[in-house]
């Protein structure tokens, strides 16, 4: 029986056989030889997820002053049923991610179809051909108990296996640049020992040829400026030795817009790894703080968002104040404080913990429960109450559902026996909550809705006419819940004039 990998649109792609793999190795060799004759170095991006696939396209798109590509890029994705579909999809010139950024489909078409210097593969043999490997393996934090991030830890098994694969195959002069967000200490205490061990097994003298390892973290925002957040943004980098750092600097300088966004080099990989986790912890703490004040504002009749804007006028010190919302999602703020705390205790064996960082994660993880509290003040018993949740991604105008707070919202509404229906214009499937059908048509979720939750600020929702929404509800005058100032006062008043009650996170001014 042929195993198939299903893409989000339902298209099935057969997993490669051994015969397919043998042909693929021949193809990889041929392509690489042709590209080396053109004077191009070979870059392999390990992992074609939300960061890796776009990073690969950005690297392939980089050209010299004469318009010639610096690199040929092989993107590698393991041939699993869950993710192999990305390989044939990319090779057809179609991005495996859905985003509001118009440059996403353009850059994939340009590099795959027009320039023909970006191609995806599932064959690990590709690593033996690389001059540079960019590591974009997904690495998550495991939080075994809801609301108790202090019990969280980092499972490095898949990451270690990926690095071991590199150690078994790469040439000694290949630079391994870790782009994945990792716990502080990972390059020195995990990556370097594994590569040294595998080099030694292969008879490579690590005194003469020490592994070349660098770390440079991304600041990807998978929204309207998806590509620009990789190419046109500041980068921090470091290396385990001077040669690694210099090779990394050269690579990043060729690929990124370093004239407008200069690189920052830190002393060692511990420093740059700590920088990424601390950077995201700062934002996590900032957001957690606003929830306390949102609850306060709701009780004393204050619109926290107007207060926030007044405070943000103080440039240089307060203009980066974040906002409260349904909750915090995505791949960074939900896990990076946990990674840092785990590394402190496990990799560095320090008898301490990051108290404020971990508390912020607990507040943010449980933040969706506040939206349920807001609903229950108006509808105390939620059994058989029809709730339409508009938005299941973690961020507006993207299809990324990783750690979406909407998942927590839906799960806890179900525990109250509410009838929950979900809609999202970007999300095809919701892998973290597979039994939830994500509708594309609002007419499939709004009829007879008792509660309509604006969970995510997708553009489609912001432009909805209140009269149209109420009409689609077919007779009910639903409670409208705004989770993060997605509805302005004019829109709120229109809903109220139509007979709806309106409530919102931090919106205590609504009477």
User: pTM of the full predicted structure?
Assistant: 0.91
> For residues 42 and 72, is the Cβ–Cβ distance under 8 A?
yes
Torsion of CA 95, 97, 99, 105, to 10 degrees: 0
Write down the CATH number for the domain with range 302-327+367-504: 3.40.50.720
Taking alpha carbons only, the member of 193, 161, 166, 189 closest to residue 177 is: 166
* Dist. CA 223–CA 241, nearest whole Å: 35
Q: Do the beta carbons of residue 185 and residue 175 sit within 8 Å?
A: no
Q: Which residue has the tokens 């709120």?
A: 492
**DSSP-derived 3-state class of residue 120:** strand
Q: Show the tokens assigned to 219.
A: 């600041």
- State the pLDDT at residue 483: 97
E-strand ranges in 91-234 read 118-121, 132-135, 141-142, 153-154, 175-178, 212-215
What's the confidence (pLDDT) of residue 2?
Answer: 75
User: Are the C-beta atoms of 340 and 277 separated by less than 8 Å?
Assistant: yes
Structural domain boundaries in the chain = 4-269, 302-327+367-504
Q: Are 350 and 310 in contact (CB under 8 A)?
A: no
pLDDT of residue 331: 80
pLDDT of residue 1: 63
Return the residue matching tokens 């018993």: 381
Contact between 456 and 429 under an 8 Å Cβ cutoff? The reply is: no
Look up tokens 């202090």; give the residue. Answer: 150
One DSSP character per residue, 364-385 reads HHHTHHHHHHHHHHH-S--TT-
Which pLDDT score, from 0 to 100, does residue 333 have?
Answer: 87
Q: Would 4-269 and 302-327+367-504 be classified into the same CATH topology?
A: yes
Q: Which residues pair with 120 in a beta bridge?
A: 75
10-residue stretch averages of pLDDT, the chain, 511 residues long: 86 95 98 96 96 97 95 97 96 92 96 97 98 95 94 95 98 97 97 98 97 95 90 97 98 98 98 97 95 96 97 94 92 92 97 96 96 97 98 92 95 98 93 92 97 96 96 97 96 97 97 87
Nearest to 290 by CA among 241, 326, 342: 326
Report the topology of domain 4-269. Rossmann fold (3.40.50)
Burial call 265-292: b when 16+ CB within 10 Å, e when fewer: bbebbbebbbbbbebbbbbbbebbbbbe
Strand order in the sheet with 438-439: 438-439, 419-423, 386-390, 451-454, 479-482, 502-504
Tell me which residue has tokens 């029986």: 1
For 229-339, strand residue ranges (E) read 235-239, 263-265
């Amino acid at each position: 029986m042929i195993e198939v990998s299903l893409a989000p649109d339902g298209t099935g792609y057969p997993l490669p056989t051994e015969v397919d793999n043998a042909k693929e190795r021949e193809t990889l060799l041929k392509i690489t030889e042709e590209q080396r004759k053109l004077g191009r170095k070979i870059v392999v991006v390990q992992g074609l997820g939300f960061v890796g696939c776009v990073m690969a396209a950005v690297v392939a798109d980089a050209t010299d002053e004469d318009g010639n590509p610096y690199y040929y890029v092989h993107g590698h994705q393991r041939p699993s049923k869950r993710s192999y579909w990305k390989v044939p999809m990319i090779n057809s010139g179609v991005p495996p991610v859905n985003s509001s950024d118009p440059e996403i489909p353009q850059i994939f078409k340009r590099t795959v179809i027009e320039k023909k210097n970006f191609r995806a593969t599932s064959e690990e043999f590709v690593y033996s051909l690389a001059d540079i490997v960019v590591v974009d393996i997904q690495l998550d934090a495991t939080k075994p108990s809801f609301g108790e991030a202090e019990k969280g830890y980092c499972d490095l098994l898949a990451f270690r296996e990926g690095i071991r694969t590199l150690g078994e195959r790469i040439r000694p002069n290949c630079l391994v640049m870790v782009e994945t967000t990792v716990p502080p200490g990972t390059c020195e205490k995990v990556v370097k020992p594994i590569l040294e061990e595998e080099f030694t097994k292969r008879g490579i003298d690590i005194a003469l040829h020490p592994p070349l390892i660098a770390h440079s973290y991304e600041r990807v925002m998978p929204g309207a400026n998806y590509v620009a957040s990789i190419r046109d943004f500041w980068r921090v980098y470091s290396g385990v030795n001077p040669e690694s750092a210099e090779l990394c600097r050269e690579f990043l300088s060729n690929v990124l817009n370093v004239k407008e966004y200069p690189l920052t080099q830190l002393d060692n990989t511990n420093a740059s790894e700590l920088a990424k986790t601390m950077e995201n912890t700062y934002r996590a703490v900032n957001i957690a703080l606003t929830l306390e004040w949102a609850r306060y504002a709701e009780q004393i009749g204050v619109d926290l968002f107007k207060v926030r804007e007044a405070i943000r006028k103080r440039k240089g010190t307060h203009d980066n104040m974040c906002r409260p919302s349904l909750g915090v999602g995505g791949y960074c703020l939900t896990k990076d404080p946990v990674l840092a705390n785990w590394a402190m205790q496990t990799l560095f064996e320090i008898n301490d913990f990051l108290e404020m960082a971990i508390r912020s994660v607990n507040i943010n993880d449980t933040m969706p429960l506040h939206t349920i509290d807001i609903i229950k003040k108006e509808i105390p018993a939620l059994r058989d109450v029809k709730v339409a949740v508009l938005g299941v991604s973690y961020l507006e105008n993207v299809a990324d559902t990783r750690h979406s707070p909407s998942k927590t919202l839906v799960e806890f509404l179900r525990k109250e026996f509410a009838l929950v229906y979900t809609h999202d214009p970007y999300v095809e499937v919701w892998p973290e909550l597979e039994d939830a059908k994500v509708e594309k048509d609002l007419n499939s979720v709004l009829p007879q809705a008792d509660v309509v939750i604006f969970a995510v600020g997708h553009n489609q929702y912001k432009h909805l006419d209140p009269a149209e929404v109420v009409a689609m509800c077919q007779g009910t005058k639903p409670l409208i819940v705004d989770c993060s100032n997605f509805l302005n006062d004019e829109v709120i008043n229109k809903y109220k004039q139509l007979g709806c009650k309106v409530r919102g996170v931090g919106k205590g001014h609504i009477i």
